[in-house]
Structure 1
Amino acid sequence: MMPVRAIGFFLIYMLGATAQAADWRTEVTGFGDRLVAQGAVPGMGVAVVRGDQIVYRHGFGIADLESGRTVDNDTYFYIASSTKALTATAVTLEAARHELDLSAPITDYLPELKGTAWDTQRVTLDDLLAMRDGMKDRWPVVFRTAYSGDFTRSKLIELLKDYEPAEHGKTFEYTNLDYNLLGLVLGRKGKNSWKQAVEREVLIPLQMSQTSADLSALPERQIALPHTIATSATSRIPLLKADANLHAAGGHFSTASSLARFVAAQISGGIVDGKRLLPAGPLRQTQTQHARQDRQFGDYHRTGWGYGWDIGDYDGERLLHRFGSFGGYRAHMSFMPDRSVGVVVLANANTPAVDLMASYIYAQLLERHGASARFTVKLKQFEKQLAAYRAHYQADMHKRQQRAAPLAHPLEAFTGTFENAELGTMDWYLGKTGLEVRAGIAHSRAEIYNAADNAFRIEVTGSGSVAHFLFDKSGHVSGVRFLDRVFAKRP
Structure 2
Amino acid sequence: MPVLEGTARALLRKVAVAQAEGRIPSLAAAVVRDGETVWFGARGAVDGRPPSQDTQYRLGSITKSLVAVMVMRLRDEGRIRLLDPIGEHVPGTPVGQVTIAQLLSHTAGLTAEPPGAWWERTPGAPADDLIAGLGPETARHRPGRLYHYSNLGFGLLGELVAVRRGMDWADAVRKEILQPLGMSATTTRPRPPHATGYAVHPWADVLLPEPEHDAGGMAAAGQMWSTPADLARWAAFLCGDTAGVLDPDTLAEMREPAAVEDGDSWVRGYGLGLQLMRHGGRRLAGHTGSMPGFLAAVWADPADRTAALFVANTTSGMRPGLLTDLLDVMAEHEPRLPQEWTPGPADPRLLELTGLWYWGPAPHVLRLLPGGWLSLSPAGGTGRASRFRPCDDGTWQGLDGYYAGETLRVHRLPDGSPGHLDLNTFVFTRRPYDPDAPVPGGVDPAGWR
After TM superposition, the score normalised by the length of structure 2 is 0.66
Matches within 5 A, 1:52-451: 52-64=35-47, 68-113=48-93, 116=94, 118-119=95-96, 122-137=97-112, 139-140=114-115, 143=117, 145-163=119-137, 165-170=139-144, 171-188=146-163, 193-215=168-190, 218-219=191-192, 222-244=193-215, 247-271=219-243, 276=244, 278-294=246-262, 302-353=267-318, 355-367=320-332
1:205 aligned counterpart, secondary structure: helix
**Contact 1:269-1:278 at 8 Å conserved across structures:** no
Deviation of the 1:27 alpha carbon: 2.4
Q: Deviations over 1:450-479 (max 9, x none)?
A: xxxxxxxxxxxxxxxxxxxxxxxxxxxxxx
- Cα pair distance change 1:60/1:104, threshold 3 Å: same
**1:347 is aligned with what amino acid?**
A
List runs of 5+ in structure 1 lacking aligned partners: 1-17, 370-491
Aligned equivalents of 2:259 and 2:2: distance in 1?
43
Question: Which letter maps to 1:90?
Answer: M
Secondary structure at 2:221 match in 1: coil
Cα separation, 1, equivalents of 2:201 and 2:103: 35
Counterpart contact for 1:46–1:346, Cα < 8 Å: yes
| Counterpart Cα distance in 1 of 2:112 and 2:9 | 46
Corresponding position of 1:22: 5
Question: Aligned match of 2:32 in 40, 46, 49?
Answer: 49
Cα drift, residue 138 of structure 1: 6.5
* Counterparts of 2:70 and 2:197, CA distance in 1: 28
Letter in 2 for 1:51: D
Q: How much does 1:100 deviate?
A: 2.4
Gap regions ≥5 residues in structure 2 = 335-449
Match of residue 32 from structure 1 = 15
Deviation at 1:346, TM superposition (A): 0.5
Deviates more, 1:239-248 or 1:159-168: 159-168
Q: Deviations over 1:366-410 (max 9, x none)?
A: 1179xxxxxxxxxxxxxxxxxxxxxxxxxxxxxxxxxxxxxxxxx
Distance 1:259 1:98, change over 3 A: same
Please say which structure displays the higher CA radius of gyration. Answer: 2
CA distances 1:200-221 after superposition (whole Å, capped 9, x unpaired):
2221111111111123xx12xx
Which amino acid counterpart does residue 94 of structure 1 have in structure 2?
Answer: L
Letter paired with 1:180: G
8 A Cα contact 2:195 2:313, kept in partner = yes
Q: CA deviation at 1:352?
A: 4.7
2:239–2:300 contact (8 Å) kept in structure 1 = yes
Give the partner amino acid of 2:130.
L
Flag the 1:30–1:164 CA change in 2: closer, same or farther, 3 A. closer
User: Per-residue CA shift, 1:416-460, capped at 9, x if unaligned?
Assistant: xxxxxxxxxxxxxxxxxxxxxxxxxxxxxxxxxxxxxxxxxxxxx
Is the contact between residue 295 and residue 313 of structure 2 (CA under 8 Å) also seen in structure 1? yes
Q: CA deviation at 1:301?
A: 6.1
Mapped partners of 1:317, 1:223: distance in 2:
33
Residues matched between the structures, number? 332
In 1: Cα distance, 2:282 partner to 2:163 partner:
40
Whether the 8 Å CA contact 2:26–2:46 is kept in 1: the answer is yes
Q: Could you say which structure has the higher helix fraction?
A: 1
Name the stretch that deviates more: 316-325 or 191-200: 191-200
**Which residue in 1 is equivalent to 2:435?**
none
* Closer/same/farther in 2, CA of residues 109 and 168 from structure 1, 3 Å limit: closer
User: Structure 1, residues 4-37: CA drift from partner, whole Å, max 9, x if none?
Assistant: xxxxxxxxxxxxxx89723212322244334445
Distance 1:226 1:313 in 2: 31
**SS, match of residue 335 in structure 1:** strand
TM-score under structure 1 length normalisation = 0.61
**Secondary structure of 1:366's aligned partner:** helix
Superposition deviation, residue 262 in structure 1: 1.0
Distance (whole Å) between structure 1 residues aligned to residue 52 and residue 225 of structure 2:
15
2:372 aligns with none
Q: Is the 8 A contact 1:80 1:251 kept in 2?
A: yes
